[in-house]
Structure 1
Amino acid sequence: MSNRAVLEVIALDAEDAVAAQAGGADRLELVTDMAADGLTPPLAVFEEIRDAVDIPLRVMIRVADGFAAGDVDVLVEKVRTLRAAGAGEFVLGFLDEGGHADLVAVERLVAEFEGCPWTFHRAIDRASDRDVLRKHLADLPGLDTYLTAGSPDGVDAGLETLIAEASRSDQPGYEPRIMVGGGLRLEHLPRLLAAGVDAFHIGGAARPGGWSGPVDAAAVREWREALDA
């Protein structure tokens, strides 16, 4: 099944995680506080999810809304605590005031990952130059995914950018997998799959009741079946 598209689902707690795995998710992104667009979850929540499912978990490293890193020492401590508890995959994305990747912050955290795989998230959609950002990050160990909508306004606005970037996967800075998320809908899938995109990220789409309700296994299964078809 190695050619099967990856489906990543946002999980806020163990109930979400169990439902997402039951629906066919391949991986979970663990966050808290979606009102702030997703922050690092408490250690206890990570441990509960870790014990509840057996699919890979990518943990968000972020302590405040926005794309500034803030206090990097605080972020480093969170990574160390999570690593000690068994976390082995991460998600982050920080920009400096000029809209470029905050290499000081990112490199410090990547050093703490000790080779773990990680995603640079939708900060790329706010970057002043997507191509430059990719080249600045190209040599960092463990970077295997960009989570992107192609635009800060979501997949509808970013579709052409995503398709263009997918065609460059053999070029420097474009080797990491494109994982599409941010306003993604089922009707986007045919064009993205045809362009060679093979990873997809859903949050609200897995929750028919909105963010106040849990992940619904049937909603996840609808995505799984669409991708496998």
Structure 2
Amino acid sequence: MSRSTRAVLEVIALGPEDATAAQAGGADRLEVVTDMAADGLTPPVRTFAGIRAAVDLDLRVMLRLADGFAAGEADRLVGAAGELRAAGADQFVLGFLGPDGGVDLGAVERVVAALDGCRWTFHRAIDRAADRAALRKQLADLPGLDCYLTAGSASGVDDGLPTLLAEARRRGQPGYRQRLLVGGGLRLDHVPSLLAAGIDGFHIGGAARPGGWGEPVSAAAVTRWRETLDASRP
């Protein structure tokens, strides 16, 4: 199955060792982060550069300064984006909510302007949003947005599956033209129903590390996901 027709498998990478194993296992793309104790923050430029030198996969780099979904200091976010862009980063991950649970559109727009057309994912902040449909409508026309990383629920794919399937049925409608990248409590047994619904993006972190977050990515674990995705594709 060619890369152009198979489902996208994205793996979280914390460093070059993770990246090399993920590529060997058949990952298509990496989400580059640091500090998983805070659910993934912006990595140092040197971490991005080391991963970039180690693999030739697409890299989506996190823009997030602290645990939670508040934007924090917009100047720092814009500065981090600029430093990473200067180091060669051309794809990103971000997402900010205000105190009311609505999208912090001002912060998102400011950071996106600094990305200057780069492709980016709105991450699982959507799963904590007060109104998913309203968030999608507000973000629909922002340049570069091509993906939502979501479990369909803040508690994970088990609870979010009905939402994911409902959103998949709306693919192509305004606000629903972006790829669904499913992650957050994702298991291999979820794959057949998601693929059958036309969902073609899958994101794994802990599932790529059978030994836990203290251990590196396992190429064998990634291979299992790659083979399952390819075998289950309609």
- Structure-1-length-normalised TM-score: 0.99
Q: Secondary structure at the match of 1:50?
A: helix
CA offset digits 1:53-89 (Å, max 9, x no partner): 0010000000100000000100000000000000000
The within-5 A match list for 1:132-151 is 132-151=134-153
The within-5 A match list for 1:152-191 is 152-191=154-193
Structure 1 segments of 4+ aligned residues over 4 angstroms from their partners: none
**Aligned counterpart for 1:85 among listed residues 84, 87, 101:** 87
Count residues with an aligned counterpart. Answer: 229
> Which position in structure 1 is the counterpart of 2:198?
196
**Does 1:224 find its partner at 2:226?**
yes
Rounded Cα–Cα distance in structure 2 between residues aligned with 1:40 and 1:101 = 20
Rounded Cα–Cα distance in structure 1 between residues aligned with 2:208 and 2:132 = 28
CA offset digits 1:83-121 (Å, max 9, x no partner): 000000000010011111111100001001110000000
Q: Secondary structure at the match of 1:58?
A: strand
- Compute the displacement of 1:227 (Å): 0.4
Structure 2 portions without partners, runs of 5+: none
Rounded Cα–Cα distance in structure 1 between residues aligned with 2:24 and 2:116 = 31
Identical-residue share of aligned pairs (%): 72
> Which position in structure 1 is the counterpart of 2:73?
71
- Structure-2-length-normalised TM-score: 0.97
- Compute the displacement of 1:170 (Å): 1.6
> Which position in structure 1 is the counterpart of 2:57?
55
- Compute the displacement of 1:3 (Å): 1.6
**Does 1:130 find its partner at 2:132?**
yes
Structure 1 portions without partners, runs of 5+: none
